Chains A and B, each alone.
Chain A
């Protein structure tokens, strides 16, 4: 068991608590970089998909897990990031400029949308974002001259200093590109958590009243969280567009928004690991289901709604029995071993809270 003695604030905010965890993550990155030589193209594509979902999950995690604002409309920002990146590239911008520009544009739009939205809280915010997600679909159709409406768009070839990257012809290069974005986003997220803004976000999540009393500007913090979250989601959306190759107004439907929110709940709200665990579940569930169906000798006819049905079942079980998600379960198992034999049963017992209405006061 490792014990961390923190003797200064610097110790408290170190990126890695000790050498051991630094080595673990370094090994993970080395394996991730070497993956194209270890796997065939099909599985590499699946891993790329996991990483893209993880980036989108990180974006939503910042808003929902870190700041406590549930959004059911992040598919709208995925769409915005995707469309803006590809439209910028069609204007002749190089990928290295178009891609960050798409992220920044999505972030700015997210902040503008946040300004009315931060007056709302809890379910009202969820409802407003649902409306946003539904509107996005129709707005894409209405803006047909730019977005090509229902017929959709095709992702162009990515060109970085003469290196051509495409999902199908060069899956390994596309994977490295996605991996680089993933690492950058994760580092940015991790650093944000150490900054005053990140702490302010956690304070807003835990109690708005006490955060105000401590001098946190609630509205500004929420708007910043919205903006950064949307920017990361926009980047993920752009990558999703390149991954899919072709997309239209229905690619980023409200189901994607809901899946994204469920994904981070299954993974574990409020942790970076959670976004990745959730992404693995979301990306591999369809494959897993079709394999199980083959195994039990079922017919090859697709059952509509099976995926979402099973996904919903898994989610219900998680909320009932492990509200902290996969990462929470992993932490519990790890701490049980680390403390062995001193782990107690009710170490992770949540404090009960009792409801008081916010309608009448």
Chain B
């Protein structure tokens, strides 16, 4: 029973990692850029929702506030691309990496000024207590996280495979010049993907905040989600979810069965092993570069 309990709580945590990782992968899949600020986006999304919902801020009902927060984050993502990242068009990947890390610092600072550094809880209807199914304790929020994550991954996967816009996004990442010649408005497509990833980050943030308290440093969770995205294989949406689940499940098991101190390093050790033996992740899409 204990194993099942660890597994379930690991899966719920893993889904949050997976959701943040989805945001990474979306942007990477469509623009070949890596958004190191994705964790901070998640935190910002959670705080926007918290600011709209909680009684001593705006006090809106949760079911209005949550879609509003997702919309706000989508607009923010689009504007960020429009005002900042579009100017980096044609610069190296490293420049974008450094820029988004800096952006993460700025977001963390701004969130700290607006909502203070004290941990706060979202007054969410999802946090309504636990179920007990045959000895396994399961929070309502955990179930919501798992269901939403699986649905979202499925829809995003279908979106990339089936819709015109999804295919345009893939084309824009594979060869910008050729995509442009084919009539794809590459810049606008990139803006849309940043907006979409902002919305996904907001969903992740709202679910994360429903599971527990949140403070401006929660964005550092992004690094763990990053490990998840790499383990699953950058550029693969189901891979991101799988990576998240693997990292999420490893953590409780490592802290239960390994001596203290080794549990924190378990996800990163796994990450290094994956990078050494399968550098492009478990669900890789990469062919060898020819010279």
Say whether B275 contacts A120, CB under 8 Å: yes
Per the bound structure, the CA–CA distance linking A120 and B277 in Å amounts to 11
Q: Mark A185-214, 1 if CB is under 8 A from B, else 0.
A: 000000000000000000000000100110
Please determine whether A131 and B97 come into contact, CB atoms closer than 8 angstroms: no
B164 at the interface (CB under 8 A from A): no
* CB atoms of A126 and B291 under 8 A apart: no
A354 at interface by CB-CB < 8 Å: yes
In the bound complex, CA of A353 to CA of B91 (Å): 7
Q: Which residues of B contact A139 (CB under 8 A)?
A: 265
By a CB distance below 8 angstroms, the chain B residues around A347 are: none
- Which one of A81-89, A94-102, A170-178, A313-321 is at the B interface? A313-321
The reply on B53 being an interface residue by CB < 8 A is no
- Total A-B pairs in contact (CB under 8 Å)? 153
Asked if residues B290 and A305 are in contact (CB atoms below 8 Å), the reply is: no
Cβ-closest chain B residue relative to A134: B268
A122 CA to B32 CA, complexed, in Å: 11
A131 & B112 in contact (Cβ 8 Å cutoff) = no
A contacts with B: majority SS: helix
Which residue of B105, B262, B276, B290 is within 8 Å of A311 (Cβ)? B105
B49 to chain A, nearest CB (A): 21
- Complex CA–CA separation, A172 to B91 (angstroms): 44
Q: On chain A, which size bracket covers the interface?
A: 35 or more
B221 at the interface (CB under 8 A from A): no
Task: Please report whether the interface of chain B is mostly helix, strand, loop or mixed according to DSSP.
Answer: helix
A-contact 0/1 string along B266-291, CB 8 Å cutoff: 00110110011001100001110111
Chain B residues with CB under 8 A of A209: 291
The yes or no answer to A304 lying at the interface (CB within 8 A) is yes
Complex Cα distance A126/B100, Å?
13
The answer to whether A127 and B88 touch across the interface, beta carbons within 8 angstroms, is no
14 CB < 8 A contacts A-B: A70-B98, A119-B276, A123-B97, A127-B226, A131-B272, A213-B291, A262-B101, A304-B112, A305-B117, A309-B106, A313-B102, A353-B90, A356-B174, A359-B287
Top 4 closest pairs, chain A to chain B, by CB: A309-B109, A312-B105, A312-B102, A315-B102
With A127-B230, A305-B108 known, 7 other A-B pairs at CB within 8 A are A131-B275, A212-B291, A305-B216, A309-B106, A312-B105, A320-B87, A359-B287
